[in-house]
């Protein structure tokens, strides 16, 4: 997988790009509040697929709670892998880079998020914001402070959640936009994993070359080593710069940044 910061910023980049490109379409005409909520959800969702690995840093975000959830997801993922793999698929346990690393999971996560937000903006949205803000904070800050504990994550997540909910108190967030944000964040994670050495089985259960868990990836010369020089010196910084640039462009389209109207942020 890519490192936490790269994954997190790729989620923000993907959400910024999608909303900036769709700004002229009715579905992309979001309020500044809806865009900001989606940005938090997408950034956190870009770490969500790694909850299938109990040993991952993300799985320890909320201590025993997220650890227990991760263990359960790992068991389910292993079971699905073993029962659906073909002869050409590797004989690994299938826990990590299994079910949560597929487009099927991204769609389910998006639909679940949409349904939850539609059900209640009062309690469900704050709960989702809290969880995804925690994942985002853990991912972004992990390399800077890998020993950050659950208490710190909880406090920061609570602060981000409070700020977002206070800002959206007069304008409801779009349930559909929230779902799309989570799906986009998951997809960004898959792309990040696909360009590493192992690839990503995102197209499961479609059989490709005799494998239902075919690792989608570009040619080896185009892949990078996780945490290697290419990611840390090139990919990570570029993704971060683009996410900020496109984020400003998307916010400008919502009318949240009128003072940037004179800046041609998105020349497309």
Check if the beta carbon of residue 109 is closer than 8 Å to that of residue 183: yes
Q: What is the pLDDT along the chain (268 residues), one digit of tens a residue?
A: 456 677 888 898 999 888 877 766 655 567 777 888 888 899 999 999 988 888 776 787 777 888 888 889 999 999 999 999 998 988 877 777 889 999 999 999 999 999 988 887 677 788 888 888 888 877 777 654 545 555 666 676 677 767 766 666 555 667 888 899 999 999 999 998 888 878 899 999 999 999 999 999 888 777 766 656 665 667 767 877 887 777 777 776 666 655 444 344 444 4
185: β partners: none
pLDDT, tens digit (0-9, with 9 covering 90-100), for 215-255? 998 887 777 666 566 656 677 678 778 877 777 777 766 66
pTM over 0.85, yes/no: no
CA 217 to chain centre: 19
- For Cα atoms 48, 186, 200, give the angle at the middle one, nearest 5 degrees: 95
**Per the structure block, which two tokens stand in for 187?**
């997809």
- DSSP 8-state class, residue 234: I
Dihedral angle, C-alpha 32, 35, 40, 41, nearest 10 °: 150
Pairwise CA distance, residues 72 & 132, whole Å: 19
Where residue 209 falls (left for φ over 0; alpha for ψ -120 to 50; beta otherwise) is left
Structure-block tokens of residue 171: 């304008």
Q: Fill in the DSSP letter of residue 91.
A: -
Write down the pLDDT at residue 21: 77
The two structure tokens encoding residue 23: 């700004």
């Amino acid at each position: 997988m890519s490192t936490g910061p790269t994954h997190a910023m790729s989620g923000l980049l993907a959400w910024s790009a999608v909303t900036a490109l769709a700004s002229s379409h009715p579905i992309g005409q979001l309020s500044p509040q809806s865009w900001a909520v989606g940005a938090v959800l997408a950034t956190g969702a870009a770490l969500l697929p790694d909850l299938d690995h109990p040993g991952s840093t993300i799985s320890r975000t909320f201590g025993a709670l997220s650890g227990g959830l991760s263990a359960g997801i790992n068991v389910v993922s292993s079971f699905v892998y073993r029962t659906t793999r073909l002869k050409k698929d590797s004989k690994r346990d299938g826990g990590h880079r299994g079910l949560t690393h597929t487009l099927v999971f991204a769609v389910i996560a998006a639909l679940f998020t949409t349904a939850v937000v539609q059900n209640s903006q009062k309690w469900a949205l704050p709960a989702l914001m809290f969880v995804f803000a925690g994942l985002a904070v853990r991912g972004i800050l992990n390399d800077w402070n890998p020993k950050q504990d659950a208490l710190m994550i909880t406090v920061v997540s609570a602060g981000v959640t409070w700020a977002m909910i206070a800002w959206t108190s007069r304008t409801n967030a779009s349930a559909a936009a929230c779902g799309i944000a989570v799906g986009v964040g998951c997809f960004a994670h898959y792309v990040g994993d696909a360009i590493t050495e192992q690839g990503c089985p995102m197209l499961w259960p479609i059989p490709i070359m005799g494998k239902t868990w075919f690792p989608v990836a570009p040619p080896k010369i185009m892949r990078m080593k996780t945490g290697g020089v290419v990611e840390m010196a090139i990919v990570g910084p570029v993704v971060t710069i683009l996410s900020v640039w496109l984020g400003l462009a998307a916010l400008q389209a919502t009318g949240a940044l009128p003072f940037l109207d004179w800046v041609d942020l998105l020349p497309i």
